Amino acid sequence: MLTDIMQVLVLGSVEGAVYMLIAVGYSLVYGTGGIMNLAHGAFYLIAGYMLYWYLGTLGLFTSVVLALIIVTLIGGISYLALIKPLEKKSQLSVVMVTFAIAFFIEQIVKLGCSILGFEKESTLPNLIEIKGTVSFELFGTIIPYDYVFILIISFLIVSLITLFISKSKLGTSIRAISQDREAATLMGINADRVLMFTVMISAFLAGVAAVIYVPSYPIAPWQGWVILTNSFAVVILGGMGSLPGSVLGAFILSYASHFTRVFIDPAISTLVPMFVIVVMLALRPQGILGKKEID
Amino acid sequence: MGVILEVKNLTKKFGGLTAVNDFSFEIERGEFIGLIGPNGAGKTTIFNLLTGFEKPNAGSIRFDGINITGMSPYKIVNLGIARTFQLVRSFKFLTILDNVSVSCLSPRGKKVSKDIGTEEYASSILTAVGLVDKARIPPIVLPHGDLRKLQIGKAVGTNPQLLLLDEPFSGLSHEEQLGITDLINKLHDDGVTIFMTGHVLRELMTLVPRVLAMHQGKLIADGPPREVAGHKIVLEAYLGRGEGFA
Amino acid sequence: MQIRFLNRIKENSLFVICVSVFYLVELTYILTLLYYFGYTSLILSTILYFTLFYFGFLYLAFNFTILWAAIKRNFKLIPSAIRRLMAWLGTFKGGLTLFCMLIIAIIPLLTQNAYYLGSMFIVAMIYTIYAASWDFLAGYTGQVSFGQAAFFGFAGYVTADRILIQNWPWLPSLFFGALIAVLISLIIGIPTLRLKGPYLALGTLSFASILYLLFAMPTILYGSTGLFGVPRLSENVIIEYYIVFIFVIISLTIMKAIGNSKLGTVFKSIRDDETGAEASGIHTTRYKILAFVISAFFAGIAGGFFTMRNTAVSAQIFGTTYSFYPLVMVAIGGIATISGAGVGAFFFIFLIEILRGVADFQWLPAGAADFLDDALIFSVLLILVIRFAGAGVLKSAIERLKNLWDILLGR
């Protein structure tokens, strides 16, 4: 019983922290530009696979940095080359093109694996090893050091991002655009440039989530979609475009799904995000902390 | 005749801003009434509240004896309140005829179109608004004045008892304004109660026998145009000090 | 109370049409069961069917007055519909469609090659229904589904289950699968379609990925291997070809007819301006759900055929690949055309075939053939099409051809 509860707490916190990173990025882009980015899960995917491919040859540090740089660039390029020109045409084509990007990245990942000679689905070695062990024991539960690392890093990064948005000049522009894009543009803010940075930040956050989580969680090409689905559930639960909402939503969803997995049925736990989406949309579509009125 | 619309203590807040503040009025059946006020006075918000596009924070709206406060827009339309929008909106890939047909296919419009046929009903409306020779083209190619007519045609298609016209004259040339005025008068003669806004006073003042004036969300005057135009607060709030009424 | 409810339903011709369609499907189903199994099985499964899937609807569905009212109201429309069809066939687009249909109809006379007929033409026709179902929803109503595979796949599984495990004949299995797809679409559609914005996209995408995970689990829902050994429609590929062909024509005609009807006008008004449609007194949620349900029904029909064609179904069918295909096909053929879905589907299948042919040639440097993964190529293709040609590549080509035609005729 105690181990079960510990499992829910530990795994729930870790996964919650990871989803917090992913959902904060997703929510940021949606809140600022109203862009429903379906390629967000794919950003996670590409960063995870970069790490997986380079880890053996380049070493940990270089491959992490490389993965993060590449995923941030991909974010920027997809905004500049595809999202921005379509944004003026129709919202629908933006959603469709991000879907196409996501699909494209999934194929690239598969292709990369077959060209470089990697297994498509795999698990990576643990990141952190202290005194020859990778984990410690707490109340009879084995906890890898990685988990502690994930919690620290994700909270650190999310606090930094929050600080950045509330204090820096770019952050002020982001907030201005999220409130009234037209007015912000009239005040001389280059909305396109700010949105590009927003998408890049969001891709970076997804990348960080990937590099810290991939060593603890098996990686597979279809996982981008699952990540995307779960981040939908998180932002719908917390409130579209609300950063504190995303943090709250991530932990609630993660505890709920681990609780279901341990105490009820693993198969049902897969349904938790869908259940959350349906129930929230039916009862409170603006989410727990969402202020933006959705009609 | 009787009261068709009864609005009591209507209040709407957006964040800290009170767009509509404790607003009460009544409209008699068959009346022709205007709502004036400077830009940002809350005229469009009143219309949005009456037609269900916004939900009020307080107050009640009764239409024809039914409490419609907070109802969905389509339900309100099907009780008999139709509206036009300040910014013209149309179904841009449908023909003019189909634009009007959509309204004729709404439950209330169907009561008429069931007997005479949707297309015939829509054509008769287009004849009334003067667009029948343009029935088969899409609205993107229409000039602004015709788009305003189309707006009114779309609203009329739902077979309304009360028609809300939001700035029907804005952005129109003098000739176009005359056309719209004729159209509105014709509708009123057919027994439709009309409630319209405007910030250009002249047209409105000559058209309607009764005017509501609002400023910063509040009702400041209610009466015949001459009286309202002479009202001290109206002059100060709306026309600016010292300027006469054109 | 009940009488008032009934009256309200009788007034609503939309509902009447739905109920009569349900009723006809039901009748087909009962007659087929009667033919194959006799009375005992019929009674048992009918009871099950009614209680489980029709809820209270059934009582109303059997209300003959409703059905009769619907028939009476729409009977006078038939001659004018035929007249309009004839007029349409005389136009360029109508003539082109007729021409294409004739070509497809005589293909089995030209080749009896089972690979060409089966793996290319039949699959392309199945994809035509599938892509058209997506186009119906996105093109006419402006609601985008990124998880169309949920209906395609679920119906595929249900059809396979009925045929293999319950030993039903294929026709009722197919309709049963499609009806289950409709039920699923209601579960996703009712919460998401009440809202404006891309919530449907989100709901369908999530639902499809969750179905993928669930059906891939080893212990539940037929296990990770799925169902296999589903018999084809017929041993004879030509018979199979014509059955699918008839279904394609019926499905596309229904979807096109709805698109051109008054109902279609309402759908398109929602696509063009949802708020405006509401201001015109349209209950937008109801119409969006209706469009979604129709779309899911045809996606389900396509899924059933696809499973029978492949003789197997596994969790892969819920993968994004299959949700992605209709988008590509419609993007190629042109959105809001329905027939464009067919053009896109055939183009797609032939392109895959050409790519395979290219890959087979050994003139490429080693390893390069790996790049010719069709999913990869199609994702690039889709990105380019969305980016540069919103209306579909072939649609603009057809427009150009039409202009040429007009010039040739001196119009």
DSSP letters along C338-365, please?
A: SHHHHHHHHHHHHHHHHHHHHHHSTTSP
Q: Which residue has the higher pLDDT, C9 or C22?
A: C22
The verdict on C188 touching A (C-beta cutoff 8 Å) is: yes
A232 within some domain = no
pLDDT at B1 (0 to 100): 62
Is pLDDT above 90 for C134? yes
Is pLDDT above 80 for C24? no
Is pLDDT above 80 for C383? yes
Is pLDDT above 90 for A42? yes
A188, A288, B214, B222 from B28: Cα distances, Å: 49, 43, 19, 14
Q: What is the CA radius of gyration of chain C?
A: 22
Residues 162-221 of B with CB under 8 A from C: none
- Distance of alpha carbon A225 from alpha carbon B184, whole angstroms: 55
Q: Is A26 exposed, middle or buried (0-12, 13-18, 19+ CB in 10 A)?
A: buried
Q: Which homologous superfamily is B3-80+161-239 in?
A: P-loop containing nucleotide triphosphate hydrolases (3.40.50.300)
- Residues of chain C above pLDDT 90, percent: 21
In A, which residues are within 8 Å of C382 by CB distance? Answer: 96, 100, 103
Residues 301-340 of C with CB under 8 A from B: 336
- Distance of alpha carbon A249 from alpha carbon A275, whole angstroms: 14
The verdict on C271 touching B (C-beta cutoff 8 Å) is: yes
Closest partner residue to A281 among C191, C212, C386, by Cβ?
Answer: C191
Structural domain of residue A206, as residue ranges?
Answer: 2-124+136-220
The verdict on B95 touching C (C-beta cutoff 8 Å) is: no
pTM of the entire predicted model: 0.81
Closest partner residue to A92 among C144, C210, C383, by Cβ?
Answer: C144
Inter-chain residue contact C273 with B93, CB threshold 8 Å? no
In A, which residues are within 8 Å of C376 by CB distance? Answer: 104, 107-108, 111
A61 within some domain = yes
B46 to chain C, closest Cα gap in Å: 15
Q: What angle do CA A245, A248, A250 make, to 5 degrees?
A: 105
The verdict on C281 touching B (C-beta cutoff 8 Å) is: yes
Question: Would you give the distance in Å from CA B79 to the centre of its chain?
Answer: 15
- Distance of alpha carbon C222 from alpha carbon B127, whole angstroms: 63
Give residue-wise pLDDT tens across range A177-213.
888 777 888 888 888 888 899 999 999 999 999 988 8
Pick the residue from chain A with its C-alpha nearest to C274.
A295
Beta strands in chain B (DSSP E): 3-14, 17-28, 32-36, 58-63, 66-67, 81-83, 162-165, 193-198, 210-215, 218-223
A86 to chain C, closest Cα gap in Å: 7
B176 to chain C, closest Cα gap in Å: 23
pLDDT at B122 (0 to 100): 92
> Stretch C118-135: mean pLDDT, rounded?
92
Q: Which residue has the higher pLDDT, B17 or B104?
A: B104
Pick the residue from chain C with its C-alpha nearest to B52.
C279
Give residue-wise pLDDT tens across range B179-220.
888 889 999 998 899 999 876 666 777 888 898 888 888 888
Give residue-wise pLDDT tens across range C27-45.
666 666 556 555 555 555 5
pLDDT at C400 (0 to 100): 65
Instruction: Say if CB A238 and CB A289 are below 8 A apart.
Output: yes
Q: Please, what is the average pLDDT of chain B?
A: 86
The verdict on C368 touching A (C-beta cutoff 8 Å) is: no
A145 within some domain = yes
Neighbours of chain A (3+ CB pairs under 8 A): C
Closest partner residue to C198 among A95, A271, A278, by Cβ?
Answer: A95
Around Cβ C356, how many Cβ atoms within 10 Å? Answer: 12
A101 within some domain = yes
Nearest to C60 by CA among C97, C111, C108, C9: C9
Q: Which residue has the higher pLDDT, C51 or A289?
A: A289
- Residue C10: pLDDT band (50, 70, 90) is very low
Around Cβ A172, how many Cβ atoms within 10 Å? Answer: 15
- Residue B244: pLDDT band (50, 70, 90) is very low
pLDDT at C45 (0 to 100): 56
> Stretch A71-98: mean pLDDT, rounded?
84
Give residue-wise pLDDT tens across range A200-209.
999 999 999 9
- Residues of chain A above pLDDT 90, percent: 18
Inter-chain residue contact C279 with B91, CB threshold 8 Å? no
Residues 22-61 of B with CB under 8 A from C: 51, 53
Q: Please, what is the average pLDDT of chain A?
A: 84
pLDDT at B208 (0 to 100): 87
Give residue-wise pLDDT tens across range A98-141.
888 998 998 888 888 877 777 777 777 777 766 777 777 777 77
B157 to chain C, closest Cα gap in Å: 8
- Residue C5: pLDDT band (50, 70, 90) is very low
A253 within some domain = no
Closest partner residue to B94 among C269, C275, C279, by Cβ?
Answer: C269
Secondary structure element (H or E) that encloses residue A141, with its range = strand A141-144
Is pLDDT above 50 for C61? no
- Residue C25: pLDDT band (50, 70, 90) is low
Inter-chain residue contact C273 with B92, CB threshold 8 Å? yes
Around Cβ B54, how many Cβ atoms within 10 Å? Answer: 21
Partners of B215 in the β-ladder: B218
In B, which residues are within 8 Å of C266 by CB distance? Answer: 102, 105
Instruction: Say if CB A272 and CB A257 are below 8 A apart.
Output: yes
Give residue-wise pLDDT tens across range C262-294.
899 999 999 888 999 999 999 999 999 999 999
- Residue A1: pLDDT band (50, 70, 90) is confident
Is pLDDT above 50 for A51? yes
- Distance of alpha carbon A64 from alpha carbon A50, whole angstroms: 8
Is pLDDT above 50 for B242? no
Mention every residue, 6+ apart, whose C-beta is less than 8 A from residue C408.
none
Is pLDDT above 60 for C14? no
Give residue-wise pLDDT tens across range C356-370.
666 555 555 555 555
Is pLDDT above 80 for B30? yes
DSSP state letters, B54-99 = S--SEEEEEETTEE-TT--HHHHHHHTEEE--SS----TTS-HHHH
Nearest to C178 by CA among C196, C154, C212: C154
Return the structure tokens found at C142.
């402006």
Inter-chain residue contact A38 with C146, CB threshold 8 Å? yes
Give residue-wise pLDDT tens across range B55-73.
899 999 999 889 999 899 9
- Residue C169: pLDDT band (50, 70, 90) is confident
- Distance of alpha carbon C223 from alpha carbon C215, whole angstroms: 7
Secondary structure element (H or E) that encloses residue A137, with its range = strand A135-138
pLDDT at B173 (0 to 100): 84
**Sole residue written with tokens 């109801």:** C286
Range C217-244 burial, b when 16+ CB lie within 10 A, else e? eeeebbeeebbeebebbeeebeebbebb
Inter-chain residue contact C202 with A277, CB threshold 8 Å? yes
pLDDT at C1 (0 to 100): 40
Is pLDDT above 50 for C55? no
Around Cβ B189, how many Cβ atoms within 10 Å? Answer: 9
Interface test with C, best of A116, A277, A279, A293 (most C CBs within 10 A): A277
Mention every residue, 6+ apart, whose C-beta is less than 8 A from residue A59.
none
Is pLDDT above 70 for A295? no
Pick the residue from chain A with its C-alpha nearest to C193.
A281
- Distance of alpha carbon C139 from alpha carbon C137, whole angstroms: 6
A239 within some domain = no
Residues 304-323 of C with CB under 8 A from A: 319-321
A27 within some domain = yes
In this structure, which amino acid lies at residue C203?
Answer: G
Q: Give ipTM to 2 decimals.
A: 0.88
Pick the residue from chain C with its C-alpha nearest to A80.
C387
Q: What's the total number of domains in chain A?
A: 1
pLDDT at C229 (0 to 100): 86
In A, which residues are within 8 Å of C146 by CB distance? Answer: 38, 99
In C, which residues are within 8 Å of B108 by CB distance? Answer: 281
- Distance of alpha carbon B113 from alpha carbon C280, whole angstroms: 14
Residues 155-184 of A with CB under 8 A from C: none
B81-83 β-sheet, strand order: B81-83, B162-165, B193-198, B32-36, B210-215, B218-223
> Stretch A50-70: mean pLDDT, rounded?
87
> Stretch C222-226: mean pLDDT, rounded?
81
- Distance of alpha carbon B226 from alpha carbon B211, whole angstroms: 9
B48, B69, B100, B156, C191 from C280: Cα distances, Å: 14, 19, 9, 9, 23
Pick the residue from chain C with its C-alpha nearest to A283.
C191
Closest partner residue to C386 among A100, A222, A229, by Cβ?
Answer: A100
Interface test with A, best of C204, C321, C383, C384 (most A CBs within 10 A): C383
Residues 114-173 of C with CB under 8 A from A: 138, 142, 144, 146
Number of Cβ pairs closer than 8 Å across A and C?
131
A264 within some domain = no
The verdict on C14 touching B (C-beta cutoff 8 Å) is: no
Closest partner residue to A111 among C198, C324, C373, by Cβ?
Answer: C373
> Stretch C189-198: mean pLDDT, rounded?
80
The verdict on C382 touching A (C-beta cutoff 8 Å) is: yes
